[in-house]
Structure 1
Amino acid sequence: MKDIPLHQLKERATTGLEMWRYYAGDMDDDDQAPLGAHRDDHYIFFLIEEGSASLMIDFTEVVFHHQTLYYVLPGQVHQSLGYNEARGWFIAVDTMLVPPDYRKVFEGSLALQQPHALNNDQMQQCRSLLEVLLQRCQEKDSVPFNLSVTHSLLQAFIGMVAGCYSCAANPIVQSTRPMEIVQQFKRVLIDNIHTIKSPSAYADMLRVSESYLNESLKKVTGMSVSYWILNEVVLEAKRLLYYSELNVKEIAHKLGYDDHTYFSRIFKKSENITPLSFRASYRK
């Protein structure tokens, strides 16, 4: 292959969420064969109930045991090594549905996240919440407010995961300078995306050269400074389109664009759909 494949959640799910529960032996089915090395444009959360599993993430093998949580960040290269002996949950989530405060927790450990062991009470809470969430995902569209309820349950689960990682005393792996730069960049990006779009401005904020910032991001995430800036703009636009009643012109201005037609063009170029069509598809 010429490049590492990038899997997009929108190609598989129209609500920003894909989830299933898997059991030991499921991978014997050819339709459930593990995927090769790839990136995703979304978050993936795993909850292992019983057994063990393993995943290769950015050339590091991560092993999960029973009653553990784990997540994969957008852009991380990963590949399943073995889930055939495990029972648990898989949850893929559009980044738009992950609140910024939670993202800071997850992305603050970029390339360093470790499996988090749950106690019995935490395990039961997560399992119960996911069972309700899966049931709502399987409900018919005719059920009143089903999508809103589904997303609320999803964010409750993500909040529980963020809380676990925020309070965890997991051992911290030695961080390299590029990793530190990337972590700092993503924090300031989330805080300043409404007003700052210039790669050089972010480099100045971090007191590094633009070329070094770009080099660090490519080394750790595989993506450039400009990619992450545009990605954050589009993510914030999606949130405003989904959660607010602002029109496209107002959203463009809120994101720092005086020309709303230019904003619409870059959104469509990124998502292959206009802002209004995106809003309509998510609110159906």
Structure 2
Amino acid sequence: MSFLTIRTASLVCMAYIVVGAIVFSSTPTEAAKIIALKSADVDVYNEALEGFKSALQESTIVEYDMEGDLQRGKKFLARLKSGPKPDLILAVGIWALQVVVEEVQDIPVVFAMVLNPTTVIGQEARNITGASMNVPIEQQLALLKKVSPQVRRIGVIYDPSQTGFLVRQAERLAKDLGLRLVTKAITSPKDSFAALDAIQDEIDALWILPDLTVLTSESVQYMLLFSFRHKIPVLGLSENQVRMGALFGLSFESGWDIGSQASELANGILSGRSVEQIPFTTARKVRLAVNLKIAGKLGVHIPKEILDRAAVVIR
């Protein structure tokens, strides 16, 4: 499944974690009771659920598919309140996380397959952690730095309400790598064109963030055309964007591994750790795609160490 397909199911809302002190309540001899709430019947969500279950075989896991319907998820959670509480809820996908945030405050929650989890989880949520789909910022910036010694200024178009937290993190990390972000904030997709044109003489590379406001098909196509016209390499979000014309694409490797990460967090909670001790994670395994055709057009030499890491090389 391409990133854009996943984005359709996953970038409806964003989420973040502010954790608290919910402690496992079952006795050690009892099998943990877990509710797995799935946003929709999507392959990558199913993979994540299988990855989660693979490390929690001694637990009783009851699965429920929201079928892409937020109200269906809310009704299910309302019924859940009338019976015995589960020890933990797994929320797979952004819709499941959204309804859990709204409806559940007294049960530990672990999410999986959520992109940008920082803008859904409110400041008062104290019972949530999880495994996000985000690729670590350090890896993305390090990749851009290795492209060429001339890459020092990285252009970023973003919506502060969507990915402002990522930009703030990246600005701090960029300094340590001798890089500088050249940012333009927008609030509407139509603003992305003018924002990009405004920084065309100030950047050496362009970085596409997982930002719903920026990721319209028109904006992405304009970024890739901009790259070709100005010979500026683009770091995209997926193999699909690389095939469209980005030089690189970095994405999470698999839903199964994200689910496995979520199971490790759940095991920590079920072993007695409080949620506040378990911060959410980013993808620990990433998939790199490289487009050598674009590299040739841009006059960029791709180091062998990058090619050796790549899962996909378009020649």
**Normalized against structure 1, the TM-score is what?**
0.25
- Name which structure has the greater RCO, CA cutoff 8 Å, separation 6+: 2
Structure richer in helix, relative to its length: 1
